[in-house]
Chains A and B, each alone.
Chain A
Amino acid sequence: MRHIISILLENEPGALSRVTGLFAQRGYNIETLTVAPTEDETLSRLTMTTTGDDRKIEQITKQLNKLIEVVKLVDLSEGPHIERELMLIKVKAIGAQRAEIKRTADIFRGQIVDVSPSVYTIQLTGTTDKLEAFIESIGPGCVLETVRTGVSGIARGEKVLSL
C-alpha cells in the first residue's frame, strides 16, 4: 500500500542525505520526495511517498525516527489528509488541438502559463491520480515534457505537525 510520510527535519547540511541514504541502504523505495524550509528556519518539512506492507512501513518509520535529525514524523495516510502535487506539462498544441487542450485544461482547473505557436505549457495541481488522469485525457502522444514536484501533504482538521 502507498503511504505518505511527513517529516520535520533539522534544517542542517547532510540531513537530507541521511534520509535518502537510509532508503537506499535498507532497500526501501522512494516514489516521490519533496523538501523545503518551513516558517521556522531551523526546520525543513519533507514529504515522501513509499510503498510496502504494514510491517515494512513500520520498519521505515522506526528507522527514520532513529535518525538524530528527524524531529517529528507522521504517516499521513493513517488519517484523513490532503495531498497535492504540482505538474508543469508541455504539450503539442497545433490547429484544432489547441482549443481541445484548452478545454481539457479548464475541466481539470489547469492554467496555461506559457504559450508558443505550437506548444502550451500547463500548470496543474491535484492528487497524483488527477495529474495522471489529465495526461490520459489529452493523450500521452502530445506530451512533450512533464515535471512534477512530488506529493506534499497535510493532515485535515485540527491535527498539526509541529514542535
Chain B
Amino acid sequence: MELMSGGDMLVRALHESGVEYIYGYPGGSLLHVYDAVYRQSAVKHVLVRHEQAAAHMADGYARATGKPGVVMVTSGPGATNTITGIATAFTDSIPMVVITGQVMSHLIGDDAFQETDMLGVSRPIVKHSFAVRRPEDIPEIVAKAFYIASTGRPGPVVIDIPKDMTMPNERYEYVYPKKIKMRSYTPPQRGHSGQIKKAVELLLAAKRPVIYSGGGVIIDGSSDKLRALVDRLNFPCTNTLMGLGAYPGTGERFLGMLGMHGSYEANMAMHNADVVIAIGARFDDRVTNATNKFCPDAKIIHVDIDPSSISKTIIADVPIVGPVGAVLDEMMALLDEAGETPDAEALETWWKQINEWRERHGGRYEKNDSQLMKPQEVIEAMWTATKGDAFITSDVGQHQMFAAQYYKFDKPNRWMGFGFPAAMGIKMNFPDDMVVCVTGEGSIQMNIQELSTCLQYGIPVKILCLNNGSLGMVRQWQDMNYEGRHSHSYMESLPDFVKLVEAYGHVGIRVTERDQLPQALEDTFGKYNDRLVFLDVAVDETEHVYPMQVPTGSMRDMWLSKTERT
C-alpha cells in the first residue's frame, strides 16, 4: 500500500493517464500541487504568461496529437482566465482536462480570497466537471476525467481541487483504477447496421452525391477511411473548416471548404445534390445558410457520434449514431459485399457540371501589379514556401478564411482554427515540423505576451501576420452592411511588431512590398529555421473574403466579388 499526499497523487495520476505536458500558471491554492510537480520529472510543466494561453496551448496539443491537453491553474482569476479556451475546446469537441485550484473546503461559499465558483462558471461549456471532496478520490477522478474527455464526442472536463485536498502532510492510499466503467456514460461503439445498409443503398443510387465531412473525421483519426470511401465511389468531397485535411486539399475530388466562405463549386454542388452524406459534421449555421432553403432536393445521411447533433438543425433521412471510423468500415464492407458501383453515367454528368462550376469561378481573387499585396497571395506564397506541409493555426477573421481557402491541406490534424498559443502547443510536440500561426495585427495582440514563453522554452513557431491595419472581417461586414461606417474596426497606433518581437528576443521581419516577400519567406523557413520569426506583412486593407453567402439565402446564394452575385 502506497501512501501519498493529495498533491502527489494528482501528479502521479496525471502521469498514469499519459500526460506529458501540463500547461499552467501557479497560484496560492495550487502551491502544494506545484511543489509536487517540482519534485518529479515524469510530467513536464510549461509556464505560460496568461491562463487563456494555457488552455489554447493544451487545445493545440490535443488537436495535433489526438490526446487530451492538460491545463492547471489556480482558483479565482486563474480559473476564470481559462474560460475562452475551455469554450473553444467545447465547441470544437477537443479533449482537455482542466485542473483548477479552489480555496480551502471550509471557506467555500464565504467569498474567500480568490474564490470563484468555477464549476458553476464553466458548467455550460464543459462535457463534465468534478469537485474533489476527499483526497483519496483524486486518482479515480483523474482517470474518469481523462476517460470522459477523450471518448465519445470529446470535450473539456474540469477538476476543481480545494487546497486542503492536497496537504503535503496528510497521506492516503493511492489507487489508480485499472478500468473505468460508468453506469451513466457509455459512448456508442458502432452504428446501427440497418441504418448503415440504408445509407449504402442511397449512396449507390445517387446521381448527384456530395460527401460533406467535418472535424469528427479528424478527431476519430479516420481520414484514411474517408479518403478510401470518396475515391472508391468517385464522389465529390467537401470539408468544413474543422474538417480541412481529412481529404487532401490538392485532391481531384476535393471541392474545397463549404459554407459561408466556402468555394463556389462546393456550395453549388451541395445545393444541387440529390444525396448528401454528412460525416462527423453538425450542419453548423456557418455551413447551411438558411436551413429552410438548405439542399432542397437532397436526401440527407448523417453520421455522428453525438445523437444530439443529428436532426438538430437539418432533419436527417438516414441518421446513424456511431463513431465515424466504425461506420465507414461497415459501409466499405457492405460495398464490398454488394459488389455494386454507383451510376457511372450519372456521375460523369455530375462531375462535368462540377468542373464547369470550377471553371466559372476558379480565379477567386483579382491580382494586380501594385506592390501592396493581396492577403490571398501571401497565403499562397507561404503554402509554396512550406511545401504545403506545415501545421497552420489561425485566429478568427479574414486571415482565418484566407488561410482556410488558400492553404491546401493534404494531411489531417494540420489545421487548427485558432491562435498563437495553439501553435506553441503543437510545436513543442512536433519540433521538426513547420508550425505557422496565420494571424492579423488585431488577433495577435490578444495573446502576444506568450512571446516570452516561447523564449523560455525555445519554441520556434512562425507567425505570419497579415497586417491590414484593421479588424478585417468586421470592416468587411461594415463595408457590406453599414455603408462603410468603420465603427471601431480600425487599429490606430499599432506597435512596431519587429521591435516588439526583438524585445522578446526573437526575429522580426517587416514586408511592405511584393518584391520583399520571397526573401522574407526564405529567411523565415531557412536562415531562421530554429528561431521564432514574426513576419509582419502589409496587405491590402480593402480586400474582402469571397465567396460569401448571402444571409437568409440558400447554399448557392453567394457574393463572388464586391460586384458579382450568383
Q: Which of B119, B120, B128 has a CB less than 8 Å from the CB of A68?
A: B128
Inside 8 A of A62's CB, which chain B residues have their CB?
307-308
Chain A 53-65 per-residue mask, 1 if CB under 8 angstroms from chain B, else 0: 0010011001101
Known: A59-B312, A68-B184, A70-B184. A21 touches B123 (CB 8 A): yes
Beta-carbon contacts under 8 Å, A45-59 to B: 55, 58-59
Residues in B neighbouring A14, C-beta threshold 8 A: 119, 129, 131
Q: Which residues of A contact B123 (CB under 8 A)?
A: 17-18, 21
A71 to B185 alpha-carbon distance, docked (Å): 8
Do A25 and B306 touch (CB < 8 A)? no
Q: Of all chain A residues, which has the CB nearest B127?
A: A68
Q: Does A85 contact B (CB under 8 A)?
A: no
CA A63 to CA B124, docked complex, whole Å: 12
Contact of A65 among B124, B182, B307 (CB under 8 A): B307
Q: Are B185 and A68 in contact (CB under 8 A)?
A: yes
Most buried by B among A18, A21, A63, A66: A66
The answer, yes or no, to whether A163 is at the interface (CB within 8 Å) is: yes
Interface pair A66/B306, CB less than 8 Å apart: yes
What residues of chain B lie closer than 8 Å to A95, measured between beta carbons? none
B131–A25 touching, CB < 8 Å: no
Closest to B309 in A: A62
Q: Is B488 an interface residue (CB 8 A)?
A: no
Question: In the bound complex, what is the Cα–Cα distance between A66 and B182 (angstroms)?
Answer: 13
In whole angstroms, what is the CA distance A10 to B123 when docked? 17
Complex alpha-carbon distance, A18 and B311, angstroms: 23
Q: Does A117 make an interface contact (CB < 8 A)?
A: no
A141 CA to B131 CA in the complex, in Å? 49
- What is the total number of residues of chain A having a CB less than 8 Å from a CB of chain B? 19
**Do A66 and B311 form a contact, CB below 8 Å, given A17-B123, A18-B123, A25-B124?**
no
Say yes or no: is A83 at the interface (Cβ < 8 Å to chain B).
Answer: no
CB pair B308 A69 closer than 8 Å = no
User: Which of A25, A63, A70 lies in contact with B308, CB distance below 8 A?
Assistant: A63
Residue interface bits A124-163, CB-to-B below 8 A is 1, else 0: 0000000000000000000000000000000000000001
- Tell me the smallest distance from the CB of A12 to a CB of chain B, in Å: 9
Within 8 A of B (CB), among A7-26: 10, 13-14, 17-18, 21, 25
Distance of A65 Cα from B152 Cα, bound (Å):
13
Which of B129, B131, B184 gathers most chain A CB within 10 Å?
Answer: B184
Residues 256-304 of B contacting A (Cβ, < 8 Å): none
Q: What's the minimum C-beta distance from B406 to chain A, rounded to whole angstroms?
A: 36
For A63, what are the chain B residues with a Cβ–Cβ distance below 8 Å? 308
Q: Is the pair B184, A21 in contact by a Cβ cutoff of 8 Å?
A: no
How far does the Cβ of B319 sit from chain A's closest Cβ, in whole Å?
A: 11
| A59 touching B184, Cβ below 8 Å | no
A13 and chain B: residue at smallest CB distance: B131
Residue B179 at the chain A interface, CB threshold 8 Å:
no
A7 to chain B, nearest CB (A): 11
Residue of A nearest to B157 (CB): A68
Q: How far is the CA of A16 from the CA of B129 in the complex (A)?
A: 13
Interface residues in B177-214 by Cβ distance below 8 A to A read: 182-185
Closest to B152 in A: A66
With CB as the reference atom, state the residue of chain A lying closest to B184. Answer: A71
- Measured CB to CB, the closest approach of chain A to B451, in angstroms, equals 36
In the complex, how many angstroms separate the beta carbon of A57 from the nearest chain B beta carbon? 12
A25-B124, A68-B127 known; A10 vs B184 contact (CB < 8 Å):
yes
Per the bound structure, the CA–CA distance linking A65 and B188 in Å amounts to 13
Give the docked Cα–Cα distance between A117 and B327 (Å): 72
Residues on A close to B: CB < 8 A? 10, 13-14, 17-18, 21, 25, 55, 58-59, 62-63, 65-66, 68-71, 163
Q: List 22 A-B contacts (CB under 8 A).
A: A10-B184, A14-B119, A14-B129, A14-B131, A17-B120, A18-B123, A21-B123, A21-B124, A55-B311, A59-B312, A62-B308, A63-B308, A65-B307, A65-B308, A66-B307, A68-B127, A68-B148, A68-B184, A68-B185, A69-B184, A71-B184, A163-B183
15 new A-B pairs (CB below 8 Å) besides A13-B131, A17-B123, A62-B307? A10-B184, A18-B123, A21-B123, A55-B315, A58-B311, A59-B312, A62-B308, A65-B307, A65-B308, A66-B306, A66-B307, A66-B308, A68-B128, A68-B182, A70-B184
